Amino acid sequence: MEMQAYGQAYKYYMKTTDILKHYNHLPSFANIQAESDQIIREMIVKLKKKLVNEAVRSSPPYISSPHPSHLPPYLF
């Protein structure tokens, strides 16, 4: 994720989620699942911030501040 390979990170996360959940009773797999979930949550936050920043930059000039009411509700 450090190289912003979000698509690849998501693809690998989706490929491994079922396996990690299946073996979640084993501590090492549970730890990997927890770390993977945390990484994906952080990725979602980063991508939402990026979308908000892009929406603010491309908003009409009469909108002077990035107030949440100007943005789609699915971003929050």
- Residue 27's pLDDT band, with cuts at 50, 70 and 90, is very high
Q: What pLDDT is stored for residue 69 in this prediction?
A: 60
pLDDT beyond 70 at 71: no
User: Looking at per-residue confidence, does 74 or 22 come out higher?
Assistant: 22
- What's the rounded Cα separation, in Å, for the pair 46 and 14? 19
Q: What is the pTM of this model?
A: 0.65
pLDDT beyond 90 at 35: yes
User: Looking at per-residue confidence, does 20 or 4 come out higher?
Assistant: 20
- Residue 54's pLDDT band, with cuts at 50, 70 and 90, is confident
